[in-house]
Amino acid sequence: MRRSGLLNPALTSAVARLGHTDTFVIADCGLPIPHAVPVIDLTLTFGIPTFADTLAALLDEVVVEAATIADTTPPEVRSLLPAVPLTEVSHDDLKREVARASFVVRTGSTTPFANVILRSGVPF
């Protein structure tokens, strides 16, 4: 068993495979996800796990050089990414970009539009 960090085997494996500029998504439980995109579904019940807890755990594990959010993203979600350069697109454009992601992490969040596309960076 790992001492700390991510414990979910599928999520740990997906994160380990990320390369520079690969993208992945952290999503609320209602985001439509294209069938071809792998989903790591962490949803237990509505609200569990939260978007904020999931994002915090992943930001501890992954170098993130940029993020894409929808113009409808609520301020409480935006505030969770203070050090990450943000690109804002329409919600429809964000949904189209999900199709290019390496994987999607589905949370139990019921906050409308709590979705972010994160771009993997390098630690040097």
Catalytic residue set: 20
Residue 115 annotated in ligand binding: yes
Helix (H) or strand (E) holding 120: strand 116-120
Q: 104-106 and 86-89 as β-strands: parallel, antiparallel, unpaired?
A: unpaired
Residue 27 annotated in ligand binding: no
- DSSP state letters, 30-55: T----TTS-EEE---BTTBS-HHHHH
> How far is Cα of residue 7 from the mean position of the Cα atoms in its chain?
16
* Residue 39: both structure tokens together: 């989903």
Residue 99 annotated in ligand binding: no
Residue 113 annotated in ligand binding: yes
The strand pairing partners of 77, in sequence order, are none
Residue 35 annotated in ligand binding: no
Enumerate the known binding-site residues for substrate.
28, 91, 113-115
Enumerate the known binding-site residues.
28, 91, 113-115
